[in-house]
């Protein structure tokens, strides 16, 4: 178990209050009707399953119920950054 800082509640809470919601920054195709079935399947089903630091989405399911982004190591589970959608994550 680990702690996650919810950027909306502005509190550190136990991981059990949250639910993972998949990899972040998956861009929806602008014109889905113009892409192949393979490209659509790639968008819907396939993820990088990256080993190491990566961005993912979480939802504070037993709290404010808002989605936000977490940069987390998939090796150590260390949380490196937490950000609300639209926040500057460049630093
Ligand atoms: Zn919250």
Q: Please give the CATH number for the structural domain made up of 3-83.
A: 3.30.2270.10
Please check the confidence at residue 91 and state whether its pLDDT lies above 80: no
57 CA → ligand 1 middle, Å: 13
8 CA → ligand 1 middle, Å: 5
The domain segmentation of the chain, as residue ranges, is 3-83
38 CA → ligand 1 middle, Å: 37
pTM, 2 dp: 0.84
Neighbours of 33 (CB within 10 A): 6
Q: Are strands 3-6 and 79-83 parallel, antiparallel or unpaired?
A: unpaired
- In this prediction, residues 33-61 reach a mean pLDDT of 94
Stated as kind and residue range, the H or E segment containing 40 is helix 37-45
- Taking only the tens place, the pLDDT of each residue in 20-35 is 999 999 999 999 999 9
**What is the distance, to the nearest Å, from the Cα of residue 25 to the centroid of all Cα atoms in its chain?**
8
6 CA → ligand 1 middle, Å: 5
Q: What percent of the chain has pLDDT over 70?
A: 100
User: For 53, phi and psi rounded to 5 degrees?
Assistant: -80, 130
């Amino acid at each position: 178990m680990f702690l996650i800082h919810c950027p909306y509640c502005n509190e550190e809470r136990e991981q059990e209050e949250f639910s993972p919601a998949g990899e972040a920054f998956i861009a929806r195709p602008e014109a889905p009707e113009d892409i192949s079935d393979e490209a659509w399947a790639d968008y819907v089903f396939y993820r990088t399953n990256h080993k190491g630091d990566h961005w993912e989405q979480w939802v504070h399911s037993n709290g404010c119920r808002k989605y936000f982004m977490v940069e987390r190591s998939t090796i150590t589970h260390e949380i490196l950054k937490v950000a609300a959608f639209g926040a500057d994550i460049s630093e």
